[in-house]
């Protein structure tokens, strides 16, 4: 896939997640698979608006966690055909390892982490939280044909009361294998994109460091969600790796984001490279 086509396909994931996140509880839609699996990728939706001022915040990624606590028991992982493993730990957090990308990170308790077409994905359909929340069922069905080469992990916030305005927060781990563009070029790609959503706003971009000293690109954006009743907040954190680019995507209701952001920052700061 050439770079122009890549830019077009990368915005598809967040467009899909925006629609799914805004399903009003109790109003289930007919589940339908994604018709374009190649559209799954990280959210590259920059803007060329001259009025947008770039904001550099050295402490935007807040130190909140380390990778693995020795006091927490972690079962032996089973590596999938896609080269990933997911283990639920004793404290109900989840240790995700991507052996292909060469990273691992922790999803905190209270989130439902799933890899498409793996055991936990199929089990999720019969969970009580899914049966009680039609929007989760729709979400699971819609991502079933996602390309596991890029769409490595998805996590939904399944806690009671954490679905304001029908917007369910979610975190994605996206891998662009072999894409060695600099963080600066990724930012420029964001800014060169035409606004893909109604009332789209490029909030800020910055280059902070994580708790382990890794320099990252952080992009913040917002737009009007499906139905026009909510404002969606997006934060993407870009990591340049020897294997390519990893992007951690976060979507939430703008009015609720401050409640959930500490969880996302914990995920960001937990990411570490695997030993060679």
Q: How many domains does the chain have?
A: 1
User: Which pLDDT does position 194 carry in this prediction?
Assistant: 87
Please compute the mean of the pLDDT values over residues 63-69 and round it to a whole number: 41
* Torsions phi, psi for 188 (to 5 deg): -65, -40
The predicted-structure confidence for 10-29, as pLDDT tens digits, reads as follows 455 555 555 455 543 334 33
Q: Output the CA torsion sign for 173, 245, 235, 260.
A: positive
161 or 54: which leads in pLDDT: 161
- pLDDT value, residue 61: 54
pLDDT number for residue 70: 42
Range of the domain at 37: 3-273
Residue 191's CB is within 10 A of a number of other CB atoms, namely 16
- Tokens found for residue 83: 């080269």
Whole-angstrom distance, CA of residue 87 vs CA of residue 93: 8
pLDDT of residue 77: 79
Lowest-confidence segment of 5-14, 40-49, 71-80, 178-187 by average pLDDT: 40-49
**Mean of pLDDT values over 72-101:** 90
What are the tens digits of pLDDT across the range 175-230?
Answer: 999 999 999 999 999 999 888 899 999 999 999 999 999 999 999 999 999 889 99
Mean of pLDDT values over 63-84: 66
pLDDT of residue 17: 57
User: Which residue would you say has higher pLDDT here, 69 or 204?
Assistant: 204
Q: What pLDDT does 231 receive? A: 96
Q: What is the CATH number of the domain that holds 129?
A: 3.40.1000.10
Does position 84 have pLDDT exceeding 90, yes or no? yes
What is the per-residue pLDDT for 226? 84
Asked if the model's pLDDT at residue 60 lies above 60, the reply is no
Among 55-59, 72-76, 249-253, where is mean pLDDT lowest? 55-59
What per-residue confidence (pLDDT) applies to 3?
Answer: 39
pTM: 0.77
- The pLDDT of residue 275: 86
Tell me the torsion sign for CA atoms 90, 93, 99, 104: negative
Which stretches does DSSP call E strand in 89-130?
94-98, 103-107, 111-114
- pLDDT of res. 32: 36
């Amino acid at each position: 896939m050439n770079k122009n086509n890549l830019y077009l396909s990368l915005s598809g994931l967040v467009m899909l997640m925006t629609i799914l996140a805004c399903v009003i509880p109790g109003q289930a839609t007919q589940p339908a698979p994604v018709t374009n699996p190649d559209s799954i990728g990280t959210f590259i939706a920059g803007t060329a608006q001259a009025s947008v001022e770039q904001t550099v915040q050295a402490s935007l990624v807040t130190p909140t966690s380390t990778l693995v606590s020795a006091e927490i028991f972690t079962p032996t992982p089973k590596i999938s055909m896609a080269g990933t493993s997911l283990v639920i730990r004793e404290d109900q957090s989840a240790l995700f390892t991507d052996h292909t990308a060469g990273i691992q990170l922790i999803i905190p308790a209270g989130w439902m982490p799933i890899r498409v077409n793996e055991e936990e994905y199929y089990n999720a359909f019969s969970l009580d939280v899914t049966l009680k929340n039609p929007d989760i069922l729709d979400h699971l069905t819609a991502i079933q044909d996602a390309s596991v080469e890029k769409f490595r992990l998805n996590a939904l916030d399944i806690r009671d009361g954490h679905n304001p305005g029908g917007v369910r927060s979610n975190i994605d781990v996206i891998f662009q294998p072999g894409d060695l563009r600099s963080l600066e070029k990724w930012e420029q790609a964001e800014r060169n994109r035409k606004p893909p959503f109604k009332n789209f706003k490029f909030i800020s971009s910055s280059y902070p460091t994580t708790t382990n000293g890794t320099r990252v690109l952080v992009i913040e954006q917002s737009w009007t969600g499906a139905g026009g009743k909510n404002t969606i907040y997006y934060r993407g954190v870009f990591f340049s790796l020897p294997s390519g680019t990893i992007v951690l995507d976060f979507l939430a209701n703008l009015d609720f984001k401050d409640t959930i952001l500490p969880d996302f920052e914990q995920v960001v700061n937990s990411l570490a490279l695997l030993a060679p």
